[in-house]
A and B are shown apart, each in its own frame.
Chain A
C-alpha cells in the first residue's frame, strides 16, 4: 500500500500557492474562533436549534441539553482557534487538517444545501449539494494530500525529510 508521504519537491509557485491557501483557511478558522471567543454570551444554541435536514434532530438535541451545549460551545470555539493557528503557522497542520474537515462536515450536515429543506435557512447565495463549507473541506483535503507546512511552516523543525 502506498503511503501518503508528502512530495518533497514543489516548484516555487506550487509551494507559494499551497502555503497561500493554507494561510487563508487558517485565517478564516482563527478569526471565526476568536469572534466567538470575544463575543460575550456567544453560544451555538440558535444555530443548532435552527438546524435543518436529516440530522437536525441530533443538532437540536445538543441545543436542548444545557450541559452538552456548553461542551459543544467550548469545542467549537477552541477547535476553530487551534485549527486556525495550526494552518496559519504550519504547526501540526496535517492531523489538524483532518479535524478541520470534521468540523466543517458538522456545519455542512447541520445546514445541508438541498432545495427540499426549505427557504427559512438564511444563506447569502444559491447552493445545491455544493456549498462553501464543502469547498473548504475539499481544499483542506487537497492540503492534506499536498502538505506545505513541513517546508514553509513550523512543522519543518520536526520534519525528518528535511533533516535527511
Chain B
C-alpha cells in the first residue's frame, strides 16, 4: 500500500515539474523583455524630440522680497467684476465672501488657500468707479481684515475718488490698477504714469493704435513700472512651449492658428451682474463714462454691456484674440504683422451694440515666413487650442501642450511613433515629469487659472500681480511690459481697422502708421 502511494506521489510530482520550463524561461528572459517594454512605454520624450533637459520647469518661485517695510498703496480704477477679481489676487476680498466660505466657524478650502497666499504688503488705499455702488463695495472690501497678512482691525477704509484724475494726483496713492472699459485704458494709464504712479492695466491695452503709441512713449519716458494684465504670461505651458520651439522641435513654422469658440449670450458679453439692476442715472456718472466718445442719453444697457459697443470696447478680437495673441507672442515673438485682412459680421446678437459675432482675420508675416490666423465665432462653443504648424511637427498649445510628428519630417524620420499619437504631452497644472508618458489621451485645458511652478499649483493671476508688485519694489522688469503690450495693442487694433473698413491694412513699423489699401 505504501509502495503504491509512493508511486502515485512520484508520478504526480513529475507532473508538477511540467510548469518548470515555463518558470525557467520566464526567469531567464523576462528582464530582456522588460527592457524592451520599458523602452517602448517609457520613451525619453525629450530625447525623442532631440532636446536636452528643459529649463522652464525648473523656475523657482521666489517669495516677495522687501515686503516688511515699504507698503505699497494701491488705487483701483474700475471696480466691476474684473476689478474685484484683481483685488482678490492682491489679497482683498469682501466680508460677504468670508461668510459664504465659512462653515461652522471654519474656513473652507477656497478661503484657506486664499489666506495662505503670500502677503504682498499692499494697501487698498483708493477706489474710483463711475458707479457709486461699485465704489462703495470697494471701500467695504478695503475694510475686511480677513486676508493674507490681515491687519486685525487696523485696516483703513479706502478713499473714494470722484474721478481718476484726483486719484492719480493724490499723494496717498503709489500705484494704480486700471480695470475700466477699454476706451478709458490709455487715457487713465497715461495720466497715472505722468503723475509718477506705477500702472497695472487690464487687457486689451488700448482702444486704438494712436493710444498705444502714446502710452508706450509715456511709460518709457516716465519709467514707471507697467504690467499688462495677461496672466497667461505666468503659465508654465507657454514657457515650456517657448523653450521647445527655440530648441527647434517644430522645424520651420509656417502657420499659426488661433481661435475663439463661444456660444450663448454670456460668452458674447451680454451679461447681467450682481448690481446692474441698481444702476441708474443718479448713481452712475454717465458723462465720465462716455469721456470723449459721442454723446448718448443715459442707457444702462450701453453702460453695463460696454464690451459690445465699438465706442467703448474692442470687440471679441480685443477681448479674446488679444489673449491668444499674447500667448503666441510670448512663445514665438511674432511681433506686429505687416498686413492684415479681416472679415466677419454681426449676425446673431443684434440687439446689443455692434460687436461682430463671426470673424476671420489673417495676419501676414512675410519676412518671418508664416501667417497667423484667427477664427472667432460666438455661435459655437467647441474648444480648439492654438495650433502651431512646423515642418517637423505641430504643436497644440494652451494651458497644456501636445506635439505631433509630421510624417514628412526629416528630424523625426527615425522616431517610430504613429502620427496620431503625441510625441510630447504636457498637461497643464501638473508637474512636467509626471506627464512624459503620453500613453493616454491627455486633456488640454483652455482658459485662465492655476499653473504649476516649483512643485506646487499656484494661481497664475496672483503670480502676475505679484510680479508687478515685486518689480515696483525691486526695480525689476515685468513679463508683460509696455513693449509686449504695444505688440498686442497694435496687432488687434489692425484687425479691427481691417474689419471696420473692410480693407487690407498695412503696418509700417518705421513710421508706426497703419494704412488702409
Chain A interface residues toward B at CB < 8 A: 12, 15-16, 19, 22-23, 27, 30-31, 34-35, 38-43, 45-47, 50, 88-90, 120, 122, 151-153, 156, 162
Contacts and interface: CB of A to CB of B under 8 A. Distances in A.
A23 B26 CA distance: 11
A123 to B, nearest CB: 12
Contact of B34 (A34, A89, A162): A34
Interface stretch (B87-95, B264-272, B301-309, B434-442): B434-442
Contacts of B26: 27, 30-31, 88
Classify the interface of chain B: helix, strand, loop or mixed: helix
A66 B385 CA distance: 30
26 contacts: A16-B18, A19-B18, A23-B22, A27-B26, A30-B30, A31-B26, A34-B30, A35-B38, A35-B41, A38-B38, A41-B434, A42-B42, A46-B440, A50-B441, A88-B19, A88-B22, A88-B23, A88-B26, A89-B23, A90-B16, A120-B441, A122-B441, A151-B15, A152-B15, A152-B19, A156-B12
Nearest to A27: B26
A153 B16 contact: yes
Contact of B16 (A34, A41, A151): A151
Contacts of A152: 12, 15-16, 18-19
Contacts of A50: 440-441
B413 to A, nearest CB: 27
A162 B33 CA distance: 38
B9 interface: yes
B15 A12 contact: yes
Contacts of B30: 30-31, 34
Question: Most chain-A Cβ atoms within 10 A of its Cβ — which of B19, B30, B441?
Answer: B19
A23 B440 CA distance: 30
A43 B37 CA distance: 16
A15 B445 CA distance: 55
A34 B37 CA distance: 11
A15 B15 contact: yes
A15 B441 CA distance: 44
A88 to B, nearest CB: 6
Interface string B432-467: 011001011100000000000000000000000000
Contact of B38 (A39, A43, A47, A120): A39
B408 interface: no
A23 B19 contact: yes
A39 B41 contact: yes
Interface in B1-56: 9, 12-13, 15-16, 18-19, 22-23, 26, 30, 33-34, 37-38, 41-42
Contacts of B42: 39-42
A18 to B, nearest CB: 11
B17 to A, nearest CB: 8
Given A41-B433, A120-B441, A151 B19 contact: no
B434 A45 contact: yes
B161 to A, nearest CB: 46
B428 to A, nearest CB: 14
B474 to A, nearest CB: 35
Nearest to B14: A152
A15 B17 CA distance: 12
A89 B19 contact: yes
B19 A156 contact: no
Contacts of A88: 19, 22-23, 26
Q: Which 10 A-B pairs have the closest CB atoms?
A: A152-B16, A23-B19, A46-B440, A38-B34, A151-B12, A152-B15, A23-B22, A39-B42, A50-B440, A39-B38
A46 B441 CA distance: 9
Contacts of A42: 42
Contacts of B16: 19, 90, 151-153, 156
Contacts of B33: 31
A19 B19 contact: yes
A149 to B, nearest CB: 9
Given A19-B18, A23-B19, 19 more contacts: A27-B26, A30-B26, A31-B33, A34-B30, A35-B34, A40-B42, A41-B433, A43-B434, A45-B434, A46-B439, A88-B26, A89-B23, A122-B440, A152-B15, A152-B18, A152-B19, A153-B16, A153-B19, A156-B13
